[in-house]
Structure 1
Amino acid sequence: MLPRTLPEPELFLPGRGEPSLRWGVIGAGWIAGFFADAVRAHTAQTVVAVAARRPERAEEFARAHGIHTAHATVDALIDDPFVDVVYIAAPQIDHLALGLQVIAAGKHVLIEKPLATTAADARRLTSAAQAAGVFLMEAMWSRYQPQALMIRALAAEGILGDITSVMADHGQPLADDPSHRLLVPGTGGGALLDLGIYPIQLDSMVLGDPTSITAVGSLTASGVDATSTVVLGHGVEQSTLMTSILTKTPTLATICGTDARIEIDGPFHIPTGLTLRSADLFEPPVRWTDDTGVSLMDGLAWEATALARFVGEGRAESPLHTHAETASILATIDEARRQLGAL
């Protein structure tokens, strides 16, 4: 029987003792803008500096988002003594080099997903951070939203029974522009690294590392993965995860257990809600909705507060998304891309 009262997980609410860090942002694209606005509106953190490839773009970004300093170069931002932590929102092909540079400067770093374009490069970053004694985290914002913490609580209390599978999809029509960065081979393009990482990380969160990986799909004319269906084995159980840059899909997710299942509203990777359904066909479902008021892209604020809390606790990595798990998820993507023949 389903519980009538759901657990209350501890959220990453601001002002709960975490340090107020001074943030620098590398990159002036759309995700950097949403991040800067979310941090300002919903955290106790402060974005104090920005740098971009073009100085004038950094200046424009600083004016638009109320940031005090626009650095003329990335090096200047990394060397800025008033910056405690750097958020890297540059193209993913640059994540490794920029991440290593920030780590070498002795600063904490949040790197937009994917942390790197391969598992091997992710391990280079985590090893460097561990050696330097700085905090490194992938900006997998979905992990720190209230719904993810609710899912963890439901699973931990055994309400689902034994978790047996995840079914999830994420598709957006992003391949109509031949010059789009996702269509360029060798730069971390394709559907899996950009979109498919969300269903794969959800599967990893509740089921851990897969024991087998099977991928089918298609490539774009440029040779990057356009669509894929990835079946992940977990012993005798299987999860089915679909992604595409050719079409908009429902972007829904279901976590199935022997006693109950969780149906996450779409898009499942942003702040939404979920329905808990019993294995008993006639038992009414239980509904949960994120009522924090932190909606849509403002959900990026949760990961900033989480990072500050972890730094304040003296941690070297996120306990909810460890370095080992981050690399494992990328290893799954590496293998799926290999099977597809993606460039």
Structure 2
Amino acid sequence: MISTPSFAQLLSAFLRKRWPAVLATALGTACGVDDALIGAEDAAYAGATGSSGSLPSSGGGSEPMAAGGKASGNGAGTAGRSANAEGSSGADGTIEEVAGALDGRLMQFACANANSPVDDCDALGYAVDGVVHPCSEGKSEMVLDHPIAGAAGTRFRLTLHFYGIMEPKNYGDAAVREAAPGAPDRDGGVPTSWATAPAGAGAPINSYDSYELRVHDAAGVETARHYLNASPNEGHWTLLIDYEKTIEVEAGGFVRLRRFDNNCRLMKNCGATGMAPCESKARTVELSAAQPPAPEGAFPAGFEQPDLNQSASHAGQWWMVDVTAVAPL
């Protein structure tokens, strides 16, 4: 039988997402919720569900919205966030304090024009924080570093929910894929397209774009490398990204998000099989649980699914990161 989280757990999660532990505890006490009770109920819940003790999410990944149609940044699904998405925080800081700009990071990779009658297009480059960074010499490389705050020597476990539309890429034998030996689910289910490789590992450079997450310690040394769109097969189709993973980070270090486009051309958001016309196949991803929400409004400062800056016939790719929990190790 699946247990339901108590009022104590829900209130604790809400408080700790938004305030440091000391203030959260004081507010919880004022509301009649003490840490001992919360700890006991968390343990009981974990025993009943087999979880690691964090509050449950609403399920194993949101369902994609119907193809076609247009949505604002948040999508038009169920309102609110799951209990886990409301967020826990470590005793040494809230999600906002530890992860900073990584939480809610949105990256858009749009088509440059509406000239292509097929299922790929000329790439515009990438757009972050309302600024478009165009392709240069036929390539586009995005590198975004996100510092991890906290007392020196402190390590954290970050839980990240990834959303997006991405073309597939084969990262070679160095990458250990979750879906191996098969292929990932193309519609946001399991197995996902997540893969892990040794720090510093290389990847094949070809016409398919890489989506990477790299972890660096306080000395700036890379300690882990992950791929978001790993697939044994490459082709003119896209993956709907909607899954959650946990990584370990160090205060004073940083999380690097990297995307590399070797030919400044990308696969359109043309469904799980590709092949134009793409208008009815362009997919949107349910974002109602994301906190903070994706910005509303027009490209590049805002986010409109599935079009981005064009029509659904020429929709590009994108990537969003939502930090849902942080816990000290």
The structure richer in helix per residue is 1
With normalisation by structure 2, the TM-score equals 0.31
The structure richer in strand per residue is 2
- Between the two structures, name the one with larger relative contact order (CA 8 Å, sep ≥ 6): 2
